[in-house]
Amino acid sequence: MNKKVCLKDLRKKDYKEVWDYQASLLSGIVSLKKLNRSSAVVKETPNYLIFVEHPHVYTLGKSGDISNLLLSEDQLKQKGATFYKINRGGDITYHGPGQIVGYPILDLENFFTDIHKYLRLLEEAIILTIAEYGLKGERSEGETGVWLGVGTPFTRKICAMGIRASRWVTMHGFALNVNADLGYFDNIIPCGIRGKAVTSMEVELGKKIDEEVVKKKILKHFKDLFEVEEYIID
């Protein structure tokens, strides 16, 4: 089993471009897995972790409700935002500047074959990361992602998650609000959940947060939780 992960920081990239890139990586891994089944020589399947920041974009998961987008096509243009209906789980969310988006493209057969465990470990990586800033991240029963103030009237989401898996190969991932403009969330019903707010590390801590430092902390916890042998920097 290959527990090395190729790390790719794409900086700021268009959503559709990165979606297509994720799909090509997943397709390549799945094709190799199929080939391995009929080959005498089995090749290791690669794993990837992509960091990226997207320009303003709204994405709707395959089970999502389009009525949770509160903007018309013209209003989207006025906001400088794009919209895509995509193939991950979950409902609608927003990506934009000041947000750390992580896309693990992992062959889970290199780690463990349990989607529930995979999601919980992604959440744990974020919970441990924000704990280093004094923030108590929590899970909300039946709602994927990382929240603050669960069980209080001030429950708020700080990190959204949505994934897709094919033959145990993952794509899509998490979006942590670090210094994001939360006003853009006013144009949707985030994740289709009414009555719960969205927050960011900047709002909670009252200051701008160094996103590069946050990425390093995420990498550390991701490595520990998934027992990654090493990161290969690309």
**Per-residue confidence (pLDDT) for residue 112, from 0 to 100:** 98
Structure tokens at 149: 């103030």
The single residue of 7, 100, 125, 191 carrying the catalytic annotation is 191
Cα–Cα dist 130/33, whole Å:
36
Residue 96 DSSP class? -
First to last CA, the chain: 21
**Per-residue confidence (pLDDT) for residue 189, from 0 to 100:** 79
Active site residue 191: yes
Return binding residues: 88-95, 160-162, 173-175
Q: Are strands 48-53 and 169-177 parallel, antiparallel or unpaired?
A: unpaired
> What kind of architecture, by CATH, is found in domain 4-233?
2-Layer Sandwich (3.30)
Domain spans of the chain, in order of start: 4-233
**Per-residue confidence (pLDDT) for residue 87, from 0 to 100:** 85
Q: Tens digits of per-residue pLDDT, 82-140?
A: 999 988 877 888 999 999 999 999 999 999 999 999 999 999 999 999 999 999 999 99
Q: Mean per-residue pLDDT for 197-209?
A: 97
Cα–Cα dist 204/216, whole Å:
20
Return binding residues for substrate: 88-95, 160-162, 173-175
Name residue, tokens 């096509």: 73
Q: Mean per-residue pLDDT for 25-38?
A: 96
pTM of the entire structure?
0.94
214 — pLDDT class (breaks 50, 70, 90): very high
**Per-residue confidence (pLDDT) for residue 72, from 0 to 100:** 87
Q: Are 138 and 127 in contact (CB under 8 A)?
A: yes
